[in-house]
Structure 1
Amino acid sequence: MNITVEKSIGKSARLRKQGRAIIVTIPKEIALAMNWKEGEDVVLVQDNGALKIMPQTVKPRKRRMSPEELVSDLSTRDIRILREATQPFQQLKPAGQEIF
């Protein structure tokens, strides 16, 4: 069975067995044209009898914010409300590694 790559590149590849998987090698010209590098993750999508190979798009992890950054946009009123709401918990002894 051959796989033909359409568009302007026009390369083909042969499927081969490796262990329990079927492998297709992507020609270097196609990988370069797609800006793919070894080790990158791709998504395989079966679409109406065709197989599409697309780059894996992952949302970048958000930077962890410090406690100061988390409360920097709070107004003094918000801080007062927060302190009042958490007041009952301030009297409790730590049960783990909480810092008060």
Structure 2
Amino acid sequence: MRWDDTTSKWIKEKGEITDLLTGADYTKIITTQVSGYGIFTIALAEKDNPAPPTDLIIYNAISPNNNGKNDSFHIKGIDKYPDNRVEIYNRWGVKVYDALSYNENDVMF
């Protein structure tokens, strides 16, 4: 990232992370060709990847034919996570549904 005084914005320079070089004192390095002058900042961050919750069951099929079975997209246990966000994408990667605080009462697909 580079701070650009002209536009007063951070500019993403799209650096690339490379592996350890033989004999180096570091494990990773970020390199990039910069597009201008400014103040630069570089960071390596490790994401905390917690295990997915085991108390959720996501049923992946619906049949909205009003027969009372699978008429809506059911996520068992979603009520334990009231601050959730559910996004549904079709097979081509197009978002078809987006909801905050998804539940089985009034916010559902």
TM over 0.5: no
The one of the two structures with greater contact order (alpha-carbon pairs below 8 A, sep at least 6) is: 2
Q: TM-score, normalised by structure 2?
A: 0.23
Q: TM-score, normalised by structure 1?
A: 0.24
Greater radius of gyration (CA): 1
